[in-house]
A and B are shown apart, each in its own frame.
Chain A
Amino acid sequence: MLKSRTEPPLRKSLRSGDYGCQYVAHDSPVHRMGAAAKLVFGMVLTVLAAGVRTPPTLLALVLVTLGYYLAARLTLGDLWRDVRLFLFQAVLVIPLYCLVHGFAGGVWPGVRISAQIILFYLPGVVFLRTTRSVDAMRGLRRVIPYRLSFLVFVSIRFVPLFFRELEEIGAAQRLRGARLLPRQQLDPRNWRDLFHCLLLPLMVRALKTADEVSRSAEARAFGLFRERTFLDAAGRPAPEPGATAPQLPVPLDSVASGACCHKLDNNSKEI
């Protein structure tokens, strides 16, 4: 009996995730690209985004980047969720350019700068949305140590969480009277609210989350060995027992490592 090929079902919704930059677990040509290839391609697009100067090259780059985004089977709804915060800067940047250089002289540079910022960021979004963490870490560890690649990975892994936090804190503060709407932020007197009511609580939240994340990783033996294996590292030889002895000190004041007995006092051990 012939086995029918199972096609991924067509999505009916306009967006694939609950919030921006969220990993989307479906199949696409971009999903099938290696993490390293995506990194290189993304970097090329990013460098080009920084370099474009003329309307035709900008338009071409927009089309290429958009094509790359849509090739990942991401939708325009997803795109809106990913870039809407950057549209906010466009609302500020373009009028400021017009204010300084006049409408005729300021509108193109304003549009160009705003578009460049979005184009600079979009390849990273595609990477986040199409790359599993294990693939991302494997791709990164070829160029940097795995501890550093974990740091980079976790930093971007939690970007969606902070988008959600940003939205929720913003909602709570607007209900308390904070002036955070884009049209309210056009008035510089309200920028104080943006910092005090939104960015400050977000920073506090980020620090707290960073602490919790590092504890979570530490509790699961992260950093205990110089190397690590990977779930689907097919063909990759497992390290011989004893070949990679722990290089970092096992926490002596815990039972987590299986340490048999440890005395903490005798002149109060400082940890």
Chain B
Amino acid sequence: MDRELLKIERLSFNYPGASLPALSEISCAVRAGECICITGNSGCGKSTMLLAIMGLLRDGTLTGTMHFSQPPVSDRWSRAAGFVFQNAESQILCNTVAEEVAFGPENLCVPPDEIVRRVRGALRAVGLEGQEARNVERFSAGQKQRLTIASVLSMNPKLLILDEPTSQLDVQGKQELLAILADLKRQGYTLIMAEHDPRPFAPLIDRYLVLKRGRLVETARSLPNPGQYAPQGAKPESAAPDHGAPVIDVLGLGLIYPETGEVLKRVDLRVQRGERVHLFGSNGAGKSSLLRCLAGLERPGAGRVALAGLESPRPERLPGKVGVLFQNPARQLFAESVREEVAFTLERLGHPAGETGSIVAEALELCGIGHLAGRAPLTLSFGEQHRVALAAVLAPRPELLLLDEPFAGLDFPQRLALLDILAQMPVRYGTTVLIASHDELPDGRWADRSFLLKEGSLAEITH
């Protein structure tokens, strides 16, 4: 692990029109066989740095020197570096597993017989052998992530670059990925990954490069600033107990999908007004399906659902009473300003203009984005867009707030800030909040009650 593989000197990058550089005077070196983690909060320049190494940045101004000491590849049927993107969905370009893994070698004009060998080898390396003919759409998030790694390994790279590889993965998916990467490292691969929460990979990582606003501020051998992952302050205040009619009243809920079988099995769930609930479950456990049943987007095969006093709710009856925030909420943004975006539901509910203005201002203040009121939502960062979408669903002060994987794409401080906002909803407005996620909550003390959804069955977790 002594040979220097990559040396970067004074690397800087400016996006077009940006006042501050995305990367500023970064110098570092990576030795062969090393595992490097580039870490830092959202927007610090992690992904930009990886794209710069791969030469995938478009537009903008790139300065500095990169020296790759690997001798020029002996055959032209290999790539020196392979890149695994954050979003596996848009990285997968083909229909079947074999085609996807073969895509890179095909582009390198690898002979067909050799492609077959490489496809087998790459799938073996990620534990997907025997799945060549499968349709990739039927894969879980973890399997898709492993497939994207295989599709890069088939080009025989020596350097593997991974951008936020765990962002879509549940606990088991992270463990599987860790095992695969550990195995690749043992085989001599050099790994560079960008992660805002590198804790799952700590046993693997040799060095951490900490970025802050595009600058390399720290190089460490152990996890930098581990204290940031511990929740700060006192346990969030709970709303006064309510003994009225439950806000969520689900009895014997059953759901069957023709392709996958029974997704929800006689689920019973009762949640009172003002309670904070965490619904925990791995990918594919049925969390999203349960939320879709609650929101009236899916018609259950059995059982009854009552939400905020509405029996068998339909989506059109829920605005104002129930707010739902789906995964990747930024995609629901459309208005010309943040203020208009947040006011949308209120206007649809017929609130007077004066009242709407003050409610919107309060929602923006609660979400800490009052200063963005006049900005166009689509020009904001991911974290800011997330808050705008949240403000839009909580502005009508709903009786119930349902959130599906609300932490995806957020760094740890942003996750804590989100929990803080959600903790205020029951106290301020008596709102019941239900979070469904495949991760543990950033602050385990937040939830009044926790449930585990496993293979379609729901059980309350008692502490």
Contacts and interface: CB of A to CB of B under 8 A. Distances in A.
A binds B: yes
A133 B392 contact: no
A253 B62 contact: yes
A44 interface: no
**Which of B53, B69, B258: most chain A Cβ within 10 A?**
B258
A23 interface: yes
Interface string A1-26: 00000000000111101100011110
A186 B64 CA distance: 58
B458 interface: no
A87 interface: no
Contacts of A222: 103, 107
Interface stretch (A28-36, A92-100, A110-118, A166-174): A166-174
Interface stretch (B33-41, B318-326, B415-423): B318-326
Contact of A218 (B6, B56, B60, B111): B56
Interface stretch (A47-55, A57-65, A256-264): A256-264
A134 to B, nearest CB: 5
B85 A133 contact: no
Contact of A231 (B60, B70, B99, B318): B99
B108 A225 contact: yes
Contacts of B64: 264-265
Interface stretch (A66-74, A119-127, A194-202): A194-202
A40 interface: no
A157 B56 contact: no
Contact of B60 (A169, A236, A257, A271): A271
Contacts of B75: 241
B63 A132 contact: no
Nearest to A173: B332
Contacts of B85: 212, 215-216, 219
B331 A269 contact: no
A233 B115 CA distance: 10
B373 interface: no
B107 A221 contact: yes
B56 A254 contact: yes
Given A18-B137, A171-B326, A215-B56, A205 B151 contact: no
**Which of A168, A233, A234, A253: most chain B Cβ within 10 A?**
A253
Interface majority SS (helix, strand, loop, mixed), chain B: mixed
Contacts of A212: 85, 87, 90-91
B334 A201 contact: yes
Interface stretch (B220-228, B231-239, B343-351, B442-450): B343-351
Contacts of B333: 201
B70 A271 contact: no
**Which of B87, B93, B111, B259: most chain A Cβ within 10 A?**
B93
B168 to A, nearest CB: 14
Contacts of B63: 264-265, 268-269
A90 B233 CA distance: 59
Given A175-B324, A196-B334, A221-B155, A255 B53 contact: yes
Contacts of B135: 22-25
B99 A133 contact: yes
B258 A220 contact: no
B232 to A, nearest CB: 32
Interface string A78-92: 000000000000000
A102 interface: no
Interface string B388-401: 00001100000000
B110 interface: yes
B124 interface: no
Interface residues of B, number: 97
Interface majority SS (helix, strand, loop, mixed), chain A: loop
Nearest to A199: B334
A172 B109 contact: no
Contacts of B107: 220-225, 228
Interface stretch (B76-84, B204-212, B267-275, B364-372): B76-84
Contacts of B138: 18
B315 A258 contact: no
Nearest to B395: A176
Interface in B413-448: none
Contact of A175 (B51, B61, B322): B322
Contacts of A264: 11, 62-66
A260 B78 CA distance: 14
Nearest to B112: A233
B173 interface: no
B59 interface: yes
Given A205-B331, A265-B10, A220 B103 contact: yes
B53 A254 contact: yes
**Which of B55, B89, B323: most chain A Cβ within 10 A?**
B55
B95 interface: yes
A246 B114 CA distance: 20
B328 to A, nearest CB: 9
A60 to B, nearest CB: 32
Given A173-B332, A204-B378, A264-B62, A229 B109 contact: yes
Nearest to A253: B55
Q: Which 8 A-B pairs have the closest CB atoms?
A: A254-B55, A238-B111, A13-B258, A177-B348, A251-B55, A258-B80, A212-B90, A177-B319
15 contacts: A18-B137, A23-B95, A25-B134, A132-B94, A134-B99, A169-B331, A177-B345, A197-B332, A197-B334, A255-B159, A256-B54, A259-B80, A261-B65, A262-B65, A264-B65
Interface of A: 12-15, 17-18, 22-25, 77, 132-134, 154, 157, 160-161, 165, 168-169, 171-178, 181, 196-197, 200-201, 204-205, 209, 212-213, 215-225, 227-234, 236, 238-239, 241, 244, 246, 251-265, 268-271
Interface of B: 6, 10-11, 51-73, 75-76, 78-83, 85, 87, 89-91, 93-96, 98-99, 102-116, 119, 133-135, 137-138, 151-152, 155, 159, 258-259, 292, 295, 297, 315-316, 318-320, 322-324, 326, 329, 331-335, 344-345, 348-349, 378, 392-393
Given A176-B344, A233-B112, A256-B80, 9 more contacts: A200-B334, A217-B93, A219-B85, A220-B79, A229-B105, A246-B76, A256-B56, A264-B11, A271-B61
